[in-house]
Amino acid sequence: MKASSIWSMAVHGKMFRICNVVGQYRNILLNRHTSSLYQQNAGLKKSVEEKLGLPPKPKKPLTPYFRFMAQIRPAIVQKNPQAKLTDIAKLAGTEWGKADSSVREQLQAEYKREMVDYMAAQVKYNQKLTDEQHEEIKKAKIEIAELKERRLLKKKKKELGKPKRPLSAFLLFMTEKKDERGTQSFKDWQIQMQNEWEKLYEEQKSAYMARSRKLFEEYKREIQIWEEKMIRLGHIDVVRNEALIQPKRQGTSVSQRSRGSEE
DNA sequence: GCACTGTGTAACGATCATCT
DNA sequence: AGATGATCGTTACACAGTGC
């Protein structure tokens, strides 16, 4: 903890130098960056290194455009109090397009100066880490990238209207009983549901199972139609592998398609 | 070509446990 | 992976420029 706070102080010091911008926005900039760093240290946005319990790595200097945005943001917000974050970014982009070349050059020069410090800090930081720590960071980054990929694929499936898997017999039972929960804790209620499910008469259970089976039959039909449509549209990544392997019952076959892109 | 850099917030995800 | 729900944590969104 102590080591990390020393690191944190070092980063603070660097950022204050980074924020040493001349002109009328100097104070605003200083305040903004101070609070921003405070939030990061409070753990709102942790870097991979910090998540792994390693000292925080030096932050990249702000690019000229980000520096510019930080300067004009207060004015934009004041003029457009109800503007959303995304609106502000758009307005800032417009302003950047209209900005004087001397302003751009000055911001560019500041960026270059701070980049020198950053590079040195980065080298120092990397030297401080062991080979194992470097490897750990590398692995974590790959994992994060894979997670992101999975999340995006899930989002795509949703957007393309992938049919949802139907409820199992037990879930149908649980859904039906949800209004009877009252003030019981979620966990206790689940355990109670499990007990009640086990005590159900076979014919009662069978009724739920029959309903679930029927839903699954419908689902099978829906998913097949949907996957065939996805293949036609070229969205092979959202289709289960079986759908690519199994030849279709009628019409054009997809079996000759290459499966190279899939696992 | 993608991650990073800043911002605030809405939306989304993981978690807990249960079964199929 | 589907539902249940509260809670806490994380990410996408917009913008442009830079470096790996």
Q: Are A261 and A238 in contact (CB under 8 A)?
A: no
At A93 the pLDDT is 92
Q: What are phi and psi of A91, to 5 degrees?
A: -60, -40
Q: What are phi and psi of A164, to 5 degrees?
A: -85, 145
At A31 the pLDDT is 32
Is A181 (CB) below 7 Å from strand B?
Answer: no
At A112 the pLDDT is 93
Q: Which of residues 48-67 of A touch strand C (CB under 7 A)?
A: 51, 63-66
At A158 the pLDDT is 85
Which nucleotide minimizes the distance between its C1' and the CA of A165?
Answer: C2
Q: Are A197 and A177 in contact (CB under 8 A)?
A: no
End-to-end CA distance of chain A: 42
Alpha helix positions (H), A80-130 = 85-98, 101-128
Is A175 (CB) below 7 Å from strand C?
Answer: yes
DSSP A26-59: HHHHHHHHHHHHHHHHTTSS--HHHHTTPPPPPP
Q: Are A263 and A251 in contact (CB under 8 A)?
A: no
- Greatest distance between any 2 Cα atoms in chain A: 82
In terms of Cα–Cα distance, which of A250, A169, A178, A174 is closest to A216? A169
Distance CA A103, CA A83 (A): 25
At A246 the pLDDT is 61
Topology classification of domain A3-159: DNA Binding (I), subunit A (1.10.30)
For A182-213, what is each residue's pLDDT tens digit?
777 888 888 888 888 888 888 888 889 999 99
Is A175 (CB) below 7 Å from strand B?
Answer: no
For A25-48, what is each residue's pLDDT tens digit?
333 332 333 233 223 333 357 788
Which nucleotide minimizes the distance between its C1' and the CA of A43?
Answer: C9
Ranges of residues in chain A with a pLDDT under 70 are 1-44, 245-263
At A24 the pLDDT is 31
In Å, what is the separation between the CA of A217 and the C1' of B10? 37
**Domain coordinates of chain A in residue numbers?**
3-159, 169-262
